[in-house]
Amino acid sequence: MPLKEFVTVAIPQLDKQIPIPCLVLKHKNKKLKNYVWHWFLLMGYEKHSDYVAVKAVTYGSYEWLSLEKIWDSGYEKKGRLIVFGI
């Protein structure tokens, strides 16, 4: 799923305060190693002038990450999301 398509699906779900379970298969950015082969939740978002930040919750805490950076893993197969038809 391209990033633009994901944003159009994810934002309405997050607006309704429905978390999005997310699994990243691989990622070239070593700073995101805690999110590789590990299910985590997207629990919110913030729109900024040049990017969208998502609240990634895992291991009992959260951090705000650029949606584009976490989505652009550098690999064709990105992972899985659980989105609901809203």
Amino acid letter, 27:
H
Contact 51, 66 (CB under 8 A): yes
Write out pLDDT tens, residues 46-67: 999 998 899 999 988 999 999 8
Contact 69, 29 (CB under 8 A): yes
Write out pLDDT tens, residues 18-42: 999 999 898 999 998 888 898 999 9
Distance CA 70, CA 72 (A): 6
Confidence band of 77 (pLDDT split at 50, 70, 90):
confident
Distance CA 34, CA 59 (A): 9
pTM: 0.83
3-state secondary structure of 30: helix
Residue 86 has pLDDT above 70, yes or no: no
